[in-house]
Amino acid sequence: MPQSSAYQDSGVDIAAATRANQLMAEAVHSTHTPAVLAGMGSFGGCFDLAASTNKGSVLVSSTDSVGTKTLVAAAVGRYDTVGQDLVNHCINDILVQGARPLFFLDYIAVAKLEPLQIADLVGGVAAACRNATCALVGGETAELPDVYRDQAFDIAGTIVGIVERERMLPRDVVVGDAIIALPSTGLHTNGYSLARRIVAKTAATHALEHTPYVLRLPELNHDTLGEALLAIHRPYLHEVEALWNAGVTLHALAHITGGGLYDNLPRVLPDGLGAVVRRGSWDIPPICSWLVHAGELAEREAFHVLNMGLGMLMVVPSEDVHIALNAVSDARLVGEITNDAMVQLI
161 shares a domain with 183: no
Q: Is the dihedral of CA 288, 68, 18, 31 positive or negative?
A: positive
Q: Which amino acid is at 316?
A: V
Burial class (CB in 10 A: 0-12, 13-18, 19+), 129: buried
Distance, CA of 313 to CA of 215 (rounded, Å): 32
pLDDT digits (tens, 9 = 90+) for 112-149: 888 899 999 999 999 999 999 999 988 899 999 889 88
Highest mean pLDDT among 8-12, 84-88, 112-116: 84-88
Name every residue whose Cβ is closer than 8 Å to that of residue 212 and which is 6 or more positions away in sequence: 75, 199, 200, 202, 203, 206, 225
**In a domain? residue 314:** yes
Tell me how crowded residue 251 is: count the other CB atoms within 10 A of its CB: 20
Letter string b/e over residues 307-317, b meaning 16 or more CB atoms within 10 A of that residue's CB: bbbbbbbbbbb
CATH number of the domain at 41, please.
Answer: 3.30.1330.10
Write the DSSP symbol of residue 169: S
Q: Pick the residue with more confidence: 296 or 38?
A: 296
Residue 322 has pLDDT above 90, yes or no: yes
Q: Name beta bridge partners: 62.
A: 159
Task: Check residue 21 and give its pLDDT.
Answer: 57
CATH number of the domain at 272, please.
Answer: 3.90.650.10
Tell me how crowded residue 14 is: count the other CB atoms within 10 A of its CB: 12
Write the DSSP symbol of residue 152: -
Q: Is the dihedral of CA 181, 182, 185, 187 positive or negative?
A: negative
Average pLDDT over residues 24-51: 59
Please provide the size of the chain in residues: 346
Residue 12 has pLDDT above 50, yes or no: no
pLDDT digits (tens, 9 = 90+) for 184-217: 999 999 999 999 999 988 877 766 656 789 888 8
62 shares a domain with 118: yes
Q: From residue 129, give the alpha-carbon distance in Å to each of 205, 333, 344.
A: 41, 29, 36
Task: Supply the mean pLDDT for the chain.
Answer: 87
Q: What percent of the chain has pLDDT over 70?
A: 83
Give me the phi and psi of 8, to 5 degrees please: -65, -40
Segments forming the whole domain that contains residue 183: 178-345
Residue 340 has pLDDT above 80, yes or no: yes
Q: From residue 67, give the alpha-carbon distance in Å to each of 89, 157, 190, 192, 234.
A: 11, 12, 7, 8, 16
- Structural domain count of the chain: 2
Q: Pick the residue with more confidence: 75 or 22?
A: 75
Residue 30 has pLDDT above 90, yes or no: no
**In a domain? residue 211:** yes
Going by pLDDT thresholds of 50, 70 and 90, the confidence category of residue 54 is low
Task: Check residue 56 and give its pLDDT.
Answer: 73
271 shares a domain with 210: yes
**Pair 148, 295: CB distance under 8 Å:** no
Residue at a domain's end among 137, 167, 197: 167
197 shares a domain with 162: no
212 shares a domain with 334: yes
212 shares a domain with 157: no
220 shares a domain with 94: no
Write the DSSP symbol of residue 52: T
pTM of the model: 0.86
Distance, CA of 329 to CA of 182 (rounded, Å): 9
Average pLDDT over residues 243-261: 96
Residue 14 has pLDDT above 80, yes or no: no
Q: Pick the residue with more confidence: 312 or 27?
A: 312
